[in-house]
Structure 1
Amino acid sequence: MDHPQTPRILAPHLSSFQHKHVRILGKVLQLRGETAVLDAGGNVDMVLNRDCHLAVGHAVEVIGKVDGNLQLRVQAATDLGTSIDYAAANAVVEATHRHKEIFYD
């Protein structure tokens, strides 16, 4: 089975990935019913699915699709707790964009 590519991105990359599936890691800032705000090098508005169980202040890795309004429609979310090295995680994202031919089409 073919899985869609999910390039790792940060908030500043959202506009380059409209209508594409992505992977993003950040800190949950707010939960508001069906939506949440993630800090991933800037704020990312997310539209949650029923399976999302997020906690404010926790790191989360999200796979989702960027919509036309630059919101992330969450398909899967993994809580990574509270002890994440965001600088290292962001450095990985930047490296994947510098050498994107290795990581995605």
Structure 2
Amino acid sequence: MESIRVDATLLSQFKHKTVRILGQLESVDPSTQTAILKCNGPITIKYQGNFQELSAQVGKFIEVIGMIDSGDLSCKVMQVIPMGDNVNLNAVVKLVQLCHVYPQLFYTV
């Protein structure tokens, strides 16, 4: 399954598409089954998995593969990949920008 890298600024362009978001997990709310991921702005992620495991990642970096909801632009999570404590978010934002300027380098077009 191919997924394009996006950040908060690009969500509206990828409604009903599978995307990849690398960011810092800011908060988790088990009562609403949502969390906030920061990547060039806040992104609400909807998570159906083990919130205890996700809560252990708060403050750390994760990559989420999921589908963007057309209504509220939240991301319904399919997979979470822990990325650790040390990710340069400025470099991630630049990578996302380059993926959209030169898609032939990153994706099948």
Structures share a fold, TM > 0.5?
Answer: yes
Tell me the SS of whatever aligns to 2:37.
strand
Determine which of 71, 76, 82 is the counterpart of 1:73.
76
Deviates further, 83-92 or 27-36? 83-92
Tell me the SS of whatever aligns to 2:86.
coil
CA–CA distance in 1 between the matches of 2:102 and 2:50? 33
Determine which of 84, 99, 102 is the counterpart of 2:102.
99
CA–CA distance in 2 between the matches of 1:76 and 1:51? 12
- Counterpart of 2:41 in structure 1 is 42
- Counterpart of 2:28 in structure 1 is 31
**What are the ranges of 5 or more consecutive residues in structure 2 without an aligned counterpart?**
none
Deviates further, 95-104 or 5-14? 95-104
> Size of the alignment, in residue pairs?
102
Tell me the SS of whatever aligns to 2:73.
coil
- Counterpart of 1:89 in structure 2 is 92
Runs (4+) off by over 2 Å: 51-54, 100-105
Q: Work out the percentage of aligned pairs sharing the same amino acid.
A: 31
Using the size of structure 2 for normalisation, the TM-score is 0.86
CA–CA distance in 2 between the matches of 1:80 and 1:40? 14
**What are the ranges of 5 or more consecutive residues in structure 1 without an aligned counterpart?**
none
Tell me the SS of whatever aligns to 2:13.
helix
CA RMSD of aligned residues (A): 1.4
1:51: how far off? 4.8
**1:16-65 deviation line (CA, Å, top 9, x unaligned):** 00000000000011100111000010000000021563221010000000
